[in-house]
């Protein structure tokens, strides 16, 4: 695994590149969830990257602007910036691997971003939406977003992250039909916890709109929510394994 910074000098992004163990004809960019979900999902993303790397994939996971080790602050970021970051990551992986096309894997709101980014490009060959957020308002409620009470600042807070008014609107506007299906590559909607019905509307929207989209349920740990003590780490092993199989 090779950690490094990439992108423009004004918006440096942190990335972790896993080269393929052998072969190397496929590449994947991993799109994290947001805020505390990012922290909790980090071990699973590392595990997924290693699985893919062992299966012959070039893999790049990266932190969006204002998150993780990347430059900037969360409250200054938003959907458009992050979509641009995904595109920068795609270009970076293509440059490293000399591949013409890559795949995108996103979890939770990262899945929403991955789908939106995939539509902007002609070089995304497959897309995995891992427990995507089908309802932005419900998602914000689940995060426990509350209005800021400190000073005259606007926006809202959830689990320590400050959401700008603009980002709140962008997330609130997220629904199962937010991403038009036209132009999407081969797509897997993967649900791991809760009723699969939660993703049915999204799958129906994409499939009836002409996207090559499948829906699967792989019971596993909701890694973006759980937290473990020092004695062990929980990871969505079954879901990660299924993703690698589907992509291969």
Q: Which of 160, 195 has the CB closer to another protein? A: 160
Q: How far apart are CA 180 and CA 178, in angstroms?
A: 6
DSSP 56: T
Which pair of tokens denotes residue 26?
Answer: 């496929």
Q: Which of 12, 154 has the CB closer to another protein? A: 12
Q: Which of 40, 176 has the CB closer to another protein? A: 40
Q: How far is the CB of 228 from another protein (least distance, A)?
A: 6
Q: How far apart are CA 57 and CA 177, in angstroms?
A: 31
Q: Which of 195, 231 has the CB closer to another protein? A: 231
* SS3 track for 173-201: CCCCCCCCCCCCCEEEEEECCCCCHHHHH
Q: How far is the CB of 6 from another protein (least distance, A)?
A: 7
Q: How far is the CB of 66 from another protein (least distance, A)?
A: 9
Q: Which of 45, 199 has the CB closer to another protein? A: 45
Q: How far is the CB of 233 from another protein (least distance, A)?
A: 5
Helix (H) or strand (E) run with residue 29 in it:
strand 26-31
Q: Which of 183, 222 has the CB closer to another protein? A: 222
Q: Return residues touching another protein (CB under 8 A).
A: 1, 3-6, 9, 12, 14, 16, 36, 39, 42-43, 46, 67-69, 71-72, 74, 150, 157, 159-162, 227-231, 233
Q: How far apart are CA 245 and CA 247, in angstroms?
A: 5
Q: How far is the CB of 137 from another protein (least distance, A)?
A: 22
Which pair of tokens denotes residue 201?
Answer: 């509307």
Q: How far is the CB of 69 from another protein (least distance, A)?
A: 5
Q: How far apart are CA 77 and CA 162, in angstroms?
A: 10
Q: How far apart are CA 44 and CA 224, in angstroms?
A: 9
Phi, psi of 179 (to 5 degrees): -105, 115
Helix (H) or strand (E) run with residue 171 in it:
helix 165-172
């Amino acid at each position: 695994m090779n950690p490094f910074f990439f992108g423009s000098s004004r918006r440096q992004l942190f990335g972790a590149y896993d080269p393929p163990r052998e072969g190397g004809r496929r590449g994947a960019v991993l799109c994290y969830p947001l805020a505390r979900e990012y922290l909790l999902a980090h071990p699973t993303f590392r595990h997924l990257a290693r699985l893919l790397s062992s299966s012959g994939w070039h893999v790049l996971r990266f932190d969006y602007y204002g998150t993780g080790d990347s430059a900037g602050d969360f409250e200054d970021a938003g959907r458009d910036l992050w979509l641009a970051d995904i595109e920068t990551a795609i270009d970076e992986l293509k440059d490293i691997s000399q591949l013409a096309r890559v795949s995108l894997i996103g979890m939770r709101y990262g899945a929403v971003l991955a789908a939106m980014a995939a539509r902007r490009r002609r070089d995304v060959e497959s897309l995995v939406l891992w427990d995507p957020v089908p309802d932005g308002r419900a998602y914000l409620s689940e995060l426990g977003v509350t209005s800021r009470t400190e000073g005259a600042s606007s926006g809202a807070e959830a689990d320590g992250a400050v959401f700008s008014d603009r980002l709140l609107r962008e997330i609130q506007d997220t629904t199962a039909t937010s991403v038009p299906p036209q132009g999407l590559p081969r797509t897997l909607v993967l649900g791991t916890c809760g009723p699969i019905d939660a993703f049915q509307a999204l799958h129906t929207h994409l499939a009836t709109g002409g996207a090559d989209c499948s829906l699967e349920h792989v019971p596993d740990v909701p890694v973006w929510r759980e937290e473990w003590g020092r004695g062990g780490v929980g990871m969505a092993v079954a879901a990660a394994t299924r993703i690698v199989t589907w992509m291969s």
